[in-house]
Structure 1
Amino acid sequence: MKAKQRERARELRKNGFSLREIVVTTGFAKGSVSNWIRDIALTDKQVARLKSNQDKGRARAANHPNSPKQVWGNIRKQIMESSEKEIPEVCSDLLLKAIGSSLYWVEGYKAAVNVVSFSNSDPKMIALMMKFFRDICKVPNGKF
């Protein structure tokens, strides 16, 4: 019985089946199948098919609603929406000074003398820093 199972698994592998496909098709134990087929080399075409299936599976998993990427994306979106409601459009000078100083400390370029530089890809953050430079630091518009 075991010899027939082994030969069936080996035949499927020679036809380019993946370990998982063999296990699902035959119902044999994964560990046994792995031991039986480990010495069988696949053709380049078979390897390409398995790689393609693997890539398709990764893409499907990444777009699944419960994938970590999707879950954290939803959490970030909720935080952004709630913070936009909670943080007033016009904030006090003290709060703007604290936020602007912190952002410059984190995102600002401090190596050059007599130069202030801020880099970030978020347009809202750049707008906030420009407000900080104008209102708190009293930088004229011509300097931007």
Structure 2
Amino acid sequence: MSSFIATPTLDPSATDNELIRNDGFFPDISLTELRATMRIDGTVTHERLREATLDAIDSVNNELHAWRALQIAAGHSTLADIPTACIDGQSVQIIRYRRAVFNLAHADITERYRDWDTTKSGGQKAEDLEQTICNARRNVRWALSDLRGLSRTTVELI
């Protein structure tokens, strides 16, 4: 037996085109860009996406608080002002910051939605999503390390 679950399409008039204003040092975050980049479909409402993104921005900003203070003391008033390579006209530091925020929001949303289906197959899908969550959280750690210029470390327990 097969099943069919229809995912809602996004209303073009929805407010996903909203730009979440950041603190002035770190870049603003576009919910439209986040949704497209992380392939978040219409089952995630705008409100839940916005809430997860606000939390992700706060978490990333808090983790970078001391690093940010050092950058400001060095005379860099925004993340974009820090001398670094550019790719496609964008500062690599901004790309890394977005990667951290996007992946943290994606991990949070995936955790919230993985128990949506309570059938046996839904339970298996929830277990399968654990790897997606772990990968997203790993990407956050790597993006933050790259942004701060720290080497990446992967530790595996034997």
Place the TM-score, normalised by the shorter chain, in its bin: under 0.3
**TM-score relative to the length of structure 1:** 0.24
Rg (Cα) greater in structure? 1
Higher relative contact order (CA 8 A, sep 6+): 2
Structure ranking higher in helix proportion: 1
